[in-house]
Structure 1
Amino acid sequence: MIFVTLEHILTNISFSIISIVITIHFMNLLVYEIVGLRDSSEKGMIATFFSITGLLVSRWISSGHFPLSNLYESLIFLSCSFFIIHIISKKLNHKNDLSTITTPSTIFTQGFATSGLSTEMHQSAILVPALQSQWLMMHVSMMLLSYAALLCGSLLSIALLVITFRNNINFFCKSNNFLIRSFFFGEIKYLNEKRRSVFKNTSFLSFRNYYKYQLTQRLDYWSYRMISLGFTFLTIGILCGAVWANEAWGSYWSWDPKETWAFITWTIFAIYSHTRTNQSLQGTNSALIASIGFFIIWICYFGVNLLGIGLHSYGSFTLTSN
């Protein structure tokens, strides 16, 4: 009973904090960036991470197994994974911040887990024999981390396509614009100075195209970094799953629906990685492939749960016994 109460408290705390964080973040983007508020949003993200982590730990202690056995727990872990991706991006370059992507993703996944699923699906159940393995932690955690990184990278690619094919480029030329302030990471002043020195005698249209070019380059840069990280996690997760499948079912690969879609997801992002090696295919071509991958990931993640079929149908929406 104490663990149920603790989970309820931590869920409400994390959801409340992340709601405040996303409000502060969009205030900074749409109105005026205040250093104090930006620091508060970062602290809020950390507090949310510890709340979600505490929730997972309490379920781990109460259930006696790593909390990745059903859809609710995997969604909570996915929301935690978005924060991990957020921290990784900060470590790669302290000026860079993907909170425009990671913060809404965190609140969306946690909101769906707590409000979109039935109360019965929130309950922790005894693991079926196939899931009673040490591979559960390694395989599922790697897959969810890969989903988080790939989704972030794919969303950046979608933004790149929207910006590239938008006719009215005036939307992207204001220094206080949402997208520019989101992805230029405090470098607007530097870019303004560079623009004045490089385009001193050119037309105003060149100024606009310059900002648009800089923004698309920044989106493409971070999209590639996030997808590369996610593709690495995905490869590790699939390999761990193959070893686990051999132990549990006597076969490394059986073309189960979940395995098939995981292979399709891996293939899509392998093609994306290949296009990045060819300079003529970079930019919009590779972004288009990543955008397709965004939808493939959701099919891979939710497809089996919606259908409730196959060897990976644990935690399906129908709550049927497998």
Structure 2
Amino acid sequence: MTWNHFPLMAGLTLLLALTGSFLPHRRKREARACMWASGVTMSIFIAGLWLTLQRPPLRTLGETRLWYGYFLLTAGFAAGHVCRLRWLPLLTTLMAAVFWILNILQPQQHDQTLVPALQSPWFVPHVAIYMLAYALLACAALTSLSGHGLTSGSVERLMRPATALLTLGMLTGAVWAHLAWGDFWTWDPKETWAAATWCAALIYLHRRPLGLSIGCGRWLVWLTFLLMQMCWYGYRWLPWLPKGLHDY
């Protein structure tokens, strides 16, 4: 599998996911089958790409977009089922499509070699944990658009694991940074945005003791989501920020 196969595999994955999202409730067995098939299709591509590159496809922005879309589909399907939000898988599928279309329109060169710091055993879990956390944050933000999602506790049920994964991602990153560069934390641009994202998520989870309203909670969820986007790739658009250890 190479990136030349991505448009076909992504298109098939999205087609299956969209089909599962649009099937009526009385055909939920077929809908679930389509969603499972979409996940299997992209899993095959990721596994094949991993073997071809001879490294985890997690290094470049394009490769993280690949995983983000994959986790969006998975998290959207699972959250939609658990929280009984039938429209959520459709929205997460459309969001995944945006990131995958960017990969198709802006193909990136993928070097088969990794710099020494990225050859650490902490590399794969650190990035994968963050991508899953980002996907759950997206699900929480989309769910918050519904008043029922806020009042029923569905958003909080998504924010709790997302925040836990953000915490775990920061801890694994700190250990990795200490092993690679000798410092647990350096406050480079990406780490600073990661800390801001984590703090916003914690404020949301502690909004009741702080006396914040439901409407304020919705804004906090979206603030966390937007800070996450800045942490992931948005900080690169700010040319006045100094170059950090996360710029390879």
Shorter-chain-normalised TM-score: which range? 0.7 to 0.9
SS at match of 2:184: coil
Aligned residues: 243
Q: In the alignment, does 2:116 pair up with 1:129? A: yes
Cα distance in structure 2, aligned partners of 1:155 and 1:34: 21
Cα distance in structure 2, aligned partners of 1:277 and 1:88: 30
Cα distance in structure 1, aligned partners of 2:20 and 2:47: 28
Residue 125 of structure 1: CA displacement? 3.4
Residue 42 of structure 1 aligns with an amino acid whose one-letter code is R
Residue 267 of structure 1: CA displacement? 0.7
Deviations 1:257-301 (A, max 9, x none): 0000000000111111110455x5242121111122221111111
Cα distance in structure 2, aligned partners of 1:233 and 1:65: 23
Deviations 1:62-117 (A, max 9, x none): 22221101111111011111123135426646x554313322222222222222x2
Q: In the alignment, does 2:14 pair up with 1:14? A: no
Change (3 A) 1:238 1:270: same
Residue 232 of structure 2 aligns with an amino acid whose one-letter code is Y
Deviations 1:213-242 (A, max 9, x none): xxx233442211111111111000000000
Cα distance in structure 1, aligned partners of 2:192 and 2:75: 26
Assess if the C-alpha contact under 8 Å between 1:19 and 1:107 holds in 2. Answer: no
**Following superposition of structure 1 onto structure 2, how do residues 74-85 of structure 1 map, counting pairs within 5 Å?**
74-85=64-75
**Structure 1 segments (4+ residues) deviating >6 Å:** none
Cα distance in structure 2, aligned partners of 1:252 and 1:298: 23
Cα distance in structure 1, aligned partners of 2:46 and 2:13: 17
Assess if the C-alpha contact under 8 Å between 1:154 and 1:290 holds in 2. Answer: yes
What 5-or-longer segments of structure 2 have no aligned partner? none
| Matching residue within 16, 26, 39 for 1:35 | 26
Residue 307 of structure 1: CA displacement? 5.3
TM-score, length of structure 1 as denominator length:
0.68
Assess if the C-alpha contact under 8 Å between 1:18 and 1:44 holds in 2. Answer: no
Assess if the C-alpha contact under 8 Å between 2:150 and 2:214 holds in 1. Answer: no
Cα distance in structure 2, aligned partners of 1:48 and 1:126: 30
Assess if the C-alpha contact under 8 Å between 1:14 and 1:47 holds in 2. Answer: no
Q: In the alignment, does 2:140 pair up with 1:153? A: yes
Cα distance in structure 2, aligned partners of 1:151 and 1:90: 13
**Following superposition of structure 1 onto structure 2, how do residues 272-287 of structure 1 map, counting pairs within 5 Å?**
272-277=204-209, 280-287=211-218
Match for residue 234 of structure 2?
Answer: 303
Residue 121 of structure 2 aligns with an amino acid whose one-letter code is Q
The worse-fitting range, judged by mean Cα deviation, of 269-278 and 133-142 is 269-278
Q: Larger relative contact order (C-alpha < 8 A, sep ≥ 6)? A: 1
Residue 126 of structure 2 aligns with an amino acid whose one-letter code is H
Cα distance in structure 2, aligned partners of 1:91 and 1:42: 10
Cα distance in structure 1, aligned partners of 2:48 and 2:111: 11
Match for residue 159 of structure 2?
Answer: 227
Match for residue 291 of structure 1?
Answer: 222
**Following superposition of structure 1 onto structure 2, how do residues 187-198 of structure 1 map, counting pairs within 5 Å?**
none
Match for residue 54 of structure 2?
Answer: 64
Match for residue 138 of structure 1?
Answer: 125
Residue 59 of structure 1: CA displacement? 2.0
Give % identity. Answer: 28
Residue 133 of structure 1 aligns with an amino acid whose one-letter code is S
Deviations 1:153-208 (A, max 9, x none): 12222x14xxxxxxxxxxxxxxxxxxxxxxxxxxxxxxxxxxxxxxxxxxxxxxxx
| Matching residue within 163, 178, 189 for 1:246 | 178
The worse-fitting range, judged by mean Cα deviation, of 10-19 and 64-73 is 10-19
Change (3 A) 1:52 1:24: closer
Change (3 A) 1:61 1:101: same
Match for residue 188 of structure 2?
Answer: 256
Cα distance in structure 1, aligned partners of 2:5 and 2:33: 19
